[in-house]
Amino acid sequence: MTALLLTPGEIPLSDLRRLHAGAPFSISEAARPGVDASVKTVADIVAAGQPAYGINTGFGKLAQAGIAAHDLSALQRNLVLSHSVGTGPLLDDDCVRLILALKAASLARGHSGVRWLVIERLVELHRHDILPCIPAQGSVGASGDLAPLAHMSAAMLGIGDVRVQGVQMPAIEALKQAGLQPLQLGPKEGLALLNGTQVSCALALRGLFAAERAFASALVSGALSVEAAKGSDTPFDERIHALRGQPGQKDVAALFRKLMAGSRIRESHRDCPRVQDPYSLRCQPQVMGAALDLLRHAADTLCTEANAVSDNPLIFADTGEVLSGGNFHAEPVAFAADMIAMALAEIGALSERRIALLVDANMSGLPAFLVSRPGLNSGFMIAQVTAAALVAENKHLAHPASIDSLPTSANQEDHVSMATHAARRLGDMAENLAAILGIELLAAAQGIEFHRPLQSSNALEAVHAAIRAKVGPYFEDRFFAPDIEAAKTMVRQGLFRQWVEDILQ
């Protein structure tokens, strides 16, 4: 995979996708003068004995405690050790790689007071695939993702465990194998490493990318379901959507027109007596368009956050000032994650209704439960039940996390974002949605079988062929779970994105 040269503050969403996929990276040397200037500012403050939060004071509620110059390195080390309190399952390797990249790029903006050596060490961990074992739970998304970033930082000190090529081992051993010395922290460096929104942002980006793949699959499965149910393409008429003007809605309708263009199945029932289709077919541009608008807004927010400086305090070398603020508060990430969660839940809810429509002979005009000789065969009966169960689970998971603040640190940190949880749950929701959409793709493909020899559009016939390359037609009952897993994997891998690339960023 081609290495990326990252310019701090100017990383596009396309590069963030590649970083999540494991692309190696380096930081542009053009950032180094700014980094060196911020380090000098910190050194001048220490030399002057001027009190500055996190440089020569305690942390949080202990900010009034002054720290002697000879204890400043121990102060930063103690911070990392005391904050390494995460619990729960470990973050996956792709997410950890992205965290390392985001933290390196943020520090390289030159407002954090850390040496270039610290930034290089993050790059080296990524390059050698030394991935800190970071427990997923323990951050409330304010004061930075303190606990998870502490575990990341501890590995740089040779403390805790890491994974190297999937093998877990002590960090000190992995550093030795790579020819790296444990990092000795300077003033401000521990705090700069722990402060920041890089964990919640990486998790939200992971959720965004999964949501994009699911969204693409849902557009394809929705169009295929319209064909299977012999639905109308009239609801996708450009004139309808121009009158409303919602951008996502217009884009989705245009995509449906493109996907269905030239369908012989559609032409076969052009003069049928049905006046209107159910909402799950007819209102796809309205629902999926609204979801697209949310995903686009979330993408913009998360791309901005990925390029941000979000630790505290911030160093302004041009004036020699150290300013305490709250960029570590991850409310933008929490809101973005909640929006993505709503989109995931609604995409799945609409998909499940189309599955229910297809298995209902009275609604679809197809054989009951999409199988020959219903009764002897149950067909897609319980596959729809599975989809309903997953939709219900996603509804519960979609409850907004950003409104659920709990005060911490003896009420010094009295409002928090819960962004890390908000972002982390997107992984489970995307997995559920992939299964729902996998079931719909199988159901819609099966519905098409009953319309043969009529052909759908060229695009949807290519979709149908892609499904059939993985899962054969379902004409009698068989062990169903592997079929669903195969279709789910196609969704998860983004194989349907090729048909809808134009409307995703």
Supply the residues annotated as catalytic: 53
- In degrees and rounded to multiples of 5, residue 352 shows phi and psi of -60, -35
Q: What is the C-alpha to C-alpha distance for residues 248 and 289, in angstroms, rounded to an integer?
A: 4
Q: What is the C-alpha to C-alpha distance for residues 102 and 305, in angstroms, rounded to an integer?
A: 10
Q: What is the C-alpha to C-alpha distance for residues 390 and 137, in angstroms, rounded to an integer?
A: 23
Is the separation of the CB atoms in 406 and 374 below 8 Å?
A: no
DSSP string over 112-161: S---HHHHHHHHHHHHTTEEE--EEE---SSSSSHHHHHHHHHHHTT-SE
Amino acid letter, 277: D
Other C-beta atoms closer than 10 Å to the C-beta of 485 total 16
Amino acid letter, 247: P
Query: What contacts 96, CB < 8 A, 6 or more positions away?
Result: 131, 132, 134, 152
Query: What contacts 319, CB < 8 A, 6 or more positions away?
Result: none
Q: Facing residues of 312 across strands? A: none
Amino acid letter, 494: G
For tokens 């550093």, the residue is 175
CA-CA-CA-CA dihedral for 88, 93, 95, 96, to nearest 10: 80
Closest to 309 in 3D by CA, of 117, 142, 109, 147: 109
According to DSSP, the β-strands at 321-323 and 314-316 are antiparallel
Q: What is the C-alpha to C-alpha distance for residues 221 and 286, in angstroms, rounded to an integer?
A: 16
- In degrees and rounded to multiples of 5, residue 163 shows phi and psi of -115, 135
In the chain, the N- to C-terminal Cα span, in Å, equals: 21
